Amino acid sequence: MKSFKLNNGIDIPAIGFGTWQIPEGEEAYQAVTEALKVGYTHIDTAAIYGNEKSVGRAIKDSGIARDTLFITTKLWNTERGYDKTIAAFEKSLTDLGLAYIDLYLIHWPANESQFENWATINAETWKALEYLYQQGKVKAIGVSNFPKDYLAKLLETVTIVPAVNQIEFHPGYLQQETVDLCKSNGILVQAWSPLGSGRILQDETLIALAEQKDTSVGQICIKFALSQGILPLPKSTNPLNIKRNLTVDNFDLTEEDIQTISELPTMGFSGSDPKKVAF
């Protein structure tokens, strides 16, 4: 598995297995078990997904050495603030059954629609992540769903620059300004919904490209993210797709293909604008 290097020197496997919307219990356990079996070494979960216990059980039962795996989880929005963040982190550790987390993210920024002091809340929450990092309980810290100006505001206050910003990214929704700010600050962008959660799989341009390359639209989307220096986190409960999504070295995207994909009209947006969401 290829990797990206985070801004603190840590290697992160270049494709991660996303677990959003995979229900706790057998389904999450089986999906993660299958992913680990076919070669994923990077699993992305979150407290709000409700599946940390099953994800942790699948990791443990796989028998794979912990230090060869990269596990991400995220702080849920109700737990923002210094003390609550630390308690929430400990709960995630317990639920996952792990001694440390590889990457811990603020799941969504406090936003201007809900909080007058949104910037202060984000800064305080970030301080807790810095503390956890300094304690060695987490190997890298980052944010998720931070739009350009929210990230810029946070960067004014940080001691440790986030290693990652995990955002919605897929053909038809590129968030270029946010991506550019991340890149200029050495922050790795991770793509959630790299396949547009299935909403862009019927796009004719993507289908034509997939046919031409003898691959699938899903794999085109994954390769496209990688071509932009972005780490995709495809999600699937289907063993065939789980395996396929790791198989992207058997075709190439030319500069022209990348240009074509980059110019696709807006499509597949989840509807979750981080500045406006009410959760």
Active site residues: 49
Please, which residue, 69 or 201, has the CB nearer to ligand A2P? 201
Q: Which two tokens stand for residue 118?
A: 């949104």
| Contact between 234 and ligand A2P per CB under 6 A | yes
Q: How far is the CB of 93 from ligand A2P (least distance, A)?
A: 26
| Contact between 196 and ligand A2P per CB under 6 A | yes
Q: Which two tokens stand for residue 127?
A: 């301080």
Phi-psi region of 219 (alpha: psi -120 to 50; beta: other; left: phi over 0): alpha
Out of 241, 247, 260, 262, the residue judged to bind ligand A2P by CB under 6 A:
241
Torsion angle of the four alpha carbons 20, 25, 28, 29, in this order, in degrees rounded to the nearest 10? 150
**Helical axes 118-134 vs 82-96, angle rounded to 10°:** 50
Q: Which two tokens stand for residue 141?
A: 């810290």
CA atoms within 13 A on the CB side of 131: 15
| Contact between 238 and ligand A2P per CB under 6 A | yes
| Contact between 7 and ligand A2P per CB under 6 A | no
Please, which residue, 72 or 122, has the CB nearer to ligand A2P? 72
How far apart are alpha carbons 163 and 160 in whole angstroms? 9
| Contact between 190 and ligand A2P per CB under 6 A | no
By the 8 A CB rule, do 6 and 164 touch?
yes
Out of 16, 18, 56, 162, the residue judged to bind ligand A2P by CB under 6 A:
18
| Contact between 195 and ligand A2P per CB under 6 A | yes
| Contact between 218 and ligand A2P per CB under 6 A | yes
| Contact between 201 and ligand A2P per CB under 6 A | yes
Q: Contact residues for ligand A2P (CB under 6 A)? A: 18, 193-198, 201, 216, 218, 234-238, 241, 244-245
